[in-house]
Amino acid sequence: MSETTETVLEIDLEALRSNYRYLRSKINHETKFLAVVKAFGYGSDSTIIAKELGPQVDYFAVAYTYEGEDLRKNNITKPTMVFHALPVDFESLVTNKLEPCIYSMKMLMSFIAYVEEEGATGFPIHLKFNTGLNRLGFIEDEIAEIVTVLSKTNSVKVESVFSHLAASEDFAEREFSLKQIASFKKISEKLISLLGYRPLLHCTNTSGVINYPEAYFDMVRSGIGLYGYGNDIEENKHLQPVATLKTVILQIHDVKIGESVGYNRAFIADRPTRSATLPLGHADGLSRSYGNGKGWVMIKGKKAPFIGNVCMDMVMVDVTDIDCQEGDEVIVFGKSSTAEELTAGINSIPYELLTAISQRIRRKVKEG
Is residue 115 pLDDT above 60, yes or no?
yes
% of residues, the chain, pLDDT over 70: 99
Q: Is 267 helix (H, G, I), strand (E, B) or coil?
A: strand
Q: Judge whether 77 lies within some domain.
A: yes
Pick from 134-138, 200-204, 289-293: least confident? 289-293
Instruction: Provide the pLDDT for residue 193.
Output: 97
Is residue 119 pLDDT above 90, yes or no?
yes
Instruction: Provide the pLDDT for residue 293.
Output: 87
Domain hosting 269: range is: 243-366
231: left (phi over 0), alpha (psi -120 to 50) or beta: left
Q: Is residue 368 very low, low, confident or very high in pLDDT (cuts 50, 70, 90)?
A: low
Instruction: Provide the pLDDT for residue 2.
Output: 67
pTM: 0.95
Query: Are 249 and 155 in a shared domain?
Result: no
Mean pLDDT for the chain overall: 96
The residue out of 174, 195, 227 marking a domain boundary is: 227
Is residue 199 pLDDT above 90, yes or no?
yes
Burial category of 126 from C-beta neighbours within 10 Å (exposed 0-12, middle 13-18, buried 19 and up)? buried
Query: Are 220 and 251 in a shared domain?
Result: no
- CATH, residue 315: 2.40.37.10
Q: Judge whether 14 lies within some domain.
A: no
CA distance 220 to 260: 52
